[in-house]
Amino acid sequence: MDYFGDETVTVQGKKWKWKTFKTTEGYPVSNNLLDWVIGQERALNECYLCLEEWVHKLKHLEKEEWYEAWKDPNKEKPNTTKTAPPGPYLLLLGDPGTGKSLIGRALAAHLTELYKKQKIQLQDVICWQNEIIPSEPKISSHPAGEGKNLIFKEKLKETKKLFLQRVGVKALTYLMIIVASIFMFAGFYYLWGQKVQWDENLAGGFGIPIQEVYGGDFTKYILDAFVSIGTTTFLPAGMMLMFLILVVVLGRFGMMGGAKGVGGAKATTVPKLIVDNSKKVAPFIDSTGHGSAQLFGSIAWDPLQTGGLGTPEHQRVTVGDVHRAHMGIIFIDEIKNLKPAEAVTLLTVLEDGQLPVTLRSRWDEGNTAAMAVATEPIPCMCFLVGAGNFDSIGQIHPALMDRIYGYGKVVRMNNDMPNSMENRRKYVQFIAQEVERFHLIPFSRDACREIVDEGRRRSNKRDRLTTRFRPMISIIKTAATLAILEGCGTVEKRHVVDSIEKHCKTIQKQILEHQISERGKLLDIRPEGARLGQIYGLAVVSDPYSGEMTGNVLTVKGFLDKRDNGKNNHLKGYYKVTGIAKGGKERFITDSVAKVRSVILQKYGADIAQDFFTHIDFAQAYGIDGPSAGVTMTILLCSLIEGKPIRQDVAVTGEINVGVDGEVPVTAVGGLHEKIKAAEAWGFKRVIIPAKNYKHSIDPQDYHIEVVASETLEGYLKECLVD
């Protein structure tokens, strides 16, 4: 059967011929994110169970009229613990890149469909001003979409009220301007009359002419007239004008109802829409790495609040992720990083389904008006999807972990899936998805096959494919970029190979390979001919933090001299291995050294530590550890005892074990792919590995070097020793 099969199947309503397809162009990609999840069928089934339980819980709340109790902001809010049981929650544990966050987003889309099917309405949440106790804003909850309508109605009411106020203020202003103008006109009119009297020199008091009374000083006369006239005309007009100027200035700076405070909010009694689900799509809130204020909300601080001139309390309420995820999904990756206080508060949310908003910040104490503000409980009935690596099990807050175990499910994400025809087709689907997502050019059939083969190699199993897709995305993008730079219309196999071997190695692997390359210039490795007392073994060098590995070739030399050869009878038996890790209870190489001695005793009846002067040296190496050097040392000693040279174009690896029934077994070791690639890079013609490794994880078609498998020491000797 062909690699991808020979059937014609229907994918997303379109026929796709697996036998004859040449590129991924035209492959129908689903719009449902759940279809994008590959290799995690068990995890998805557990997720579906949790969602069904979640929907059942919400339906129960509907029967209990829990939603109705939140509609009126002036009514007492329900006690959730009496009406709704806790849970369910979901914790996804697995290696990075296995699709945990993708599952979280996909579940939100699936939850929206379930809500439509079960006729469950999402909710908007509104924060109202508390006229009696302003520091305790009130809360109400309404079916999705009604929140905006309520806010619009309240804004319309306030707009009408402000309009009438402004009309009244303007009418009063114009009236005052008219009255002030009349007073001003009257004042100037009377002053003009006084000027006329002066010019005509009319008689004043006691019948004496005015000019004689003031001695001809007009300035003194007019000042006296201004004082007497101004108290009844100019003074009232000036006071009116000053009042008008004050009103204009206060209005300009927002002191008359137009003040803008925190976030541009006006000093208004209009309620604030704090949770908006008008799109009627189940919310998905990614809270990874968020702190306490982001998770659980906070009260904004206003520098003018202490003086009563700032933003009203209900306008300064900012809800957290748990409130915005009400009736939706809140996703927290690396959930082990939650601080203890945050984990405890999250427990309250999960248990009660409601949480008031109060001041939260990085400071434990402070002296601001915001500290006195705390809302009524705000509904936050959210479905928790936590994620982490396997080390999260012992690092999550114990109380939180206990709730997840008790009321939810902990699901292990698969690192690989069977290397079946169905899953190889899913790899093609994965490639088509990424091509569409990143707007790449299509991949040829051979390029798809090479990516599938790389997925098999990365699983370290012959019959499995890796489900750690994030590193595979990098390969796909890089291969497509290489093809585009060449002006190709499709991505070919050579582009994928170049992407894997030259461009998509992690920095840890790059560093390791650089170190090995630099050290290799000083090594004496010549894979040709046959030599007595020298063998090449294979090992891996690992990065302690990332686990990345690269292969290494070890030159192992040996010296063996029998005590009774007449030259050194005075020497005691001696068995020494140099270049290996010393000390410590976890040194695997120590066990290998001991087993080599026992195997040689079983095979030849000679004790290399008593009957011989024995020295094995891992030349130009230091700190070699692990069980895979056991067969290397054993073959070296067999060569010396039998006097048969060892082929130098052969490299070996495997764990030696004490024999039973005359056979010495060689068992499986790790890092085979990296070891074989290292031997291939050095120019060896053949590599011998344990049969279990060959059967379980190695496909010889991946290499240009001959890979030979053997179960026993005899098989290794047959391939290595030269008669």
Residue with tokens 């909710």: 123
Among candidate residues 628, 639, 697, 710, the one labeled active-site is: 628
Beta strands in 565-665 (DSSP E): 574-578, 612-619, 646-647, 650-652, 655-656
Does residue 628 carry a catalytic annotation?
yes
**CB-based contact 426:68 (threshold 8 Å):** no
DSSP string covering 582-602:
-SSTT-HHHHHHHHHHHHHHH
Does residue 272 carry a catalytic annotation?
no
H-type helices in 654-708, by residue range? 672-682, 691-697
Amino acid 242 reads M
Task: Give the torsion sign (CA, 141, 147, 151, 154).
Answer: negative
Q: Which of 696, 101, 98 is nearest to 414 (CA)?
A: 98
H-type helices in 18-145, by residue range? 41-63, 80-83, 100-118
* Structure tokens that stand for 719 in this block: 């391939």
Strands of 272-275's sheet, edge to edge? 138-143, 123-128, 272-275
Cα maximum dimension of the chain: 166
**What is d(CA 479, CA 474) in angstroms, rounded to the nearest whole number?**
8
**CB-based contact 355:377 (threshold 8 Å):** yes
Residue with tokens 């908003």: 357
Residue with tokens 């060892």: 646
* Structure tokens that stand for 219 in this block: 């300035």
**CB-based contact 667:591 (threshold 8 Å):** no
Q: Which of 490, 483, 468 is nearest to 413 (CA)?
A: 468
User: Is residue 528 exposed (0-12), middle (13-18) or buried (19+ Cβ within 10 Å)?
Assistant: exposed
DSSP string covering 254-273:
TTTTT-B-GGG-BS--S-EE
Among candidate residues 272, 603, 675, 677, the one labeled active-site is: 675
Give, as one character, the DSSP assignment of residue 421. H
Cis omega (within 30 of 0) for bond into 471: no
Amino acid 443 reads F
Q: Which of 601, 596, 602 is nearest to 660 (CA)?
A: 602
**What is d(CA 617, CA 559) in angstroms, rounded to the nearest whole number?**
9
Residue 431 CB partners (closer than 8 Å, separation 6+): 24, 443, 448, 451, 476
* Structure tokens that stand for 279 in this block: 């799109």
Catalytic residue numbers? 628, 675
